[in-house]
Amino acid sequence: MMHSAASRAARILGTIKSNTALLFWDPERFGRNLLQVTNPRLFEQRLVDIMNAVPMHVRVDPAPDAPVRLNVLDSAWSKSGMTGGPNTVINLALRVAQRGIPVRLISTVQAATIDPAWFRNHAGSLLGGPDVPEISIATAADPNNPLPLGHRDVFLATHWSTAQQLKPVLPQLPIREFFYMLQEFEPAFYPWSGNFALALETYGMDFWPIINEAMLADYLFSQPLGRLMDGVIRDRAVVFEPAVDKDVFFVGPPDARPRPKRLLFYARPTNTRNMFGLGLMALRHAAASPAFAGWEFLSIGSRGSVPDLQLGHGHVLRRAPWVDYAGYGDLLRQADLLFCPMLSPHTSYPVLEMAACGGFSVTNTFATKTQGKIAALSPNIIAVEPTLEGFAAGLVEAAGKVADGLPRHSALNMARDWAATLDPAASRVVDIIRSMQGAM
């Protein structure tokens, strides 16, 4: 006799309740098996780990007089997605447009949801002035309305998935090289898997690297990574250092009202390089120290995905409300210590932004991201080995520095204006685009 999926699921649940041995099963693994019973189609979809595995819907206009244009790709340009990495991409694109190259933002998976009026104000805040060039916004996600591409279009991929989406498009165009903005070692976003392999593959494509931070560039060039091992590709690279906006991240006046000392935990459980579990364990160890008596612990960085969590010794990690960009700067100024684990060769923006606001940051070393290089950026950043003991000791050390009660001051040895770092990069990109066009 055939049983429905629901009845089979009920029998499985009944077995679990009656068999204490099954209490030791991995609940996540069992959940997937239960999904296989109750929703085979969804289970199969989750077995396929290719991220954004959809084509761009485009058509090529062969007209030879099409203008030169830089197309900047993202899976979904949106207001809510304007965080550090995407803002850096747009900031660079705006400066390219200021130098006479038309720029178009293209959403490759979802329709673009940016209001043009809002975007113009946002662009002005990124540029720090009223001279905002026109940038068009389009989508290549609609199969019924393919996006027209000009004969002289050039592309900037901003994530490995958008580089993969270019593979079937570039052979249709005269210019088959593309720019690739590298802000992380993206294969490490995943375990060894299909996604890891596809991300790694993109380093073997024909691209011009644009790399955010010399420490990341040093790491990429020290690894056996596709064409990044090629001296020609290395010579092509446009490398710039991040800047920390002085108008958002600065030392404010002393708090008018007394408040507890406050630690912010940059907590993103779905971002594996953030090492959420190890960071939480380190917080629980550090919370036992008398150095944290009376402190307040808040999690930031996630929209509601981190519940309130017990740290022990009377401490609770509570979720801070989500705030906009300016509110985030205020939040850093109203805290004393930021804990930002990040298993990556990039320093991570929050670490730098907290130092600019006069507080202390605790983060970790990784490969080319050494203690010496971090110390050269700021004495307010404590970089430790990414271990339970290292993090806990770093947190207690930082709490001791806060207890010293010294006045806050912005301690950051790096650019505080994006023009200083991105204007030279934009000029180089424009020169490369014009050389591409001249070779047609």
**CB crowding 358-388: b at 16 or more within 10 Å, else e:** bbbbbbbbbebbeeeebeebbebbbbbebee
d(CA 248, CA 28): 41
Q: Per residue in 284-307, is it b (16+ CB within 10 Å) or e — as a string?
A: bbbbebebbeebbbbbbbbeeebe
Contact between residue 212 and residue 242 where contact means Cβ atoms under 8 Å apart: yes
Pick the CATH number of 58-243+419-438 from 3.30.70.360, 3.40.50.11090, 3.40.710.10, 1.10.3720.10: 3.40.50.11090
Tell me, yes or no, if the two domains 58-243+419-438 and 262-403 fold the same way. yes
| Gyration radius of the chain over CA positions | 24
Q: What does residue 426 show for φ and ψ, rounded to 5 degrees?
A: -65, -40
Of the candidates 7, 425, 435, which has an alpha carbon nearest to the alpha carbon of residue 238? Answer: 425
262-403: CATH superfamily: Glycogen Phosphorylase B; (3.40.50.2000)
What angle in degrees, to the nearest 10, is found between the helix axes of 325-333 and 349-356?
60
Q: How many residues belong to the chain?
A: 440
Question: CB of 425 within 8 A of CB of 316?
Answer: no
Strand 309-312 with 315-319, pairing: antiparallel
Q: Is 435 exposed, middle or buried (0-12, 13-18, 19+ CB in 10 A)?
A: exposed
Q: According to the model, what pLDDT value does residue 110 have?
A: 85
Measured CA to CA, the distance from residue 7 to residue 278 in angstroms comes to: 39
Q: Which of 368, 425, 25 is nearest to 214 (CA)?
A: 368
Domain boundaries, the chain: 5-47, 58-243+419-438, 262-403
Residue 242 CA: distances (Å) to CA of 91, 156, 247, 353, 432: 11, 19, 15, 11, 21
pLDDT of residue 41: 65
Per-residue pLDDT, 131: 84
Return per-residue pLDDT of the chain as tens, 440 residues.
445 555 554 554 444 344 333 333 344 444 444 555 666 666 565 555 555 568 899 999 877 777 889 999 998 888 777 777 889 999 999 999 999 999 999 999 888 778 888 888 888 888 887 788 989 999 999 999 999 999 889 999 999 999 999 999 999 998 899 999 999 999 998 888 888 999 999 999 999 999 999 999 999 999 999 999 998 888 999 999 999 988 889 998 887 788 899 999 999 888 889 999 999 999 999 999 999 999 999 999 887 778 899 999 999 999 998 888 889 999 999 999 999 999 999 999 999 999 999 999 999 999 999 999 999 999 999 999 999 999 999 999 999 999 988 778 788 889 988 999 999 999 999 999 998 877 66
Q: How many CA atoms lie within 13 A of 268 on its CB side?
A: 14
DSSP assignments along 43-100, one per residue: HHHHH---TT-----EEE---TTPPPEEEEEES---STT-SHHHHHHHHHHHHHHHTT
CA atoms of 147 and 160, how far apart (whole Å): 21
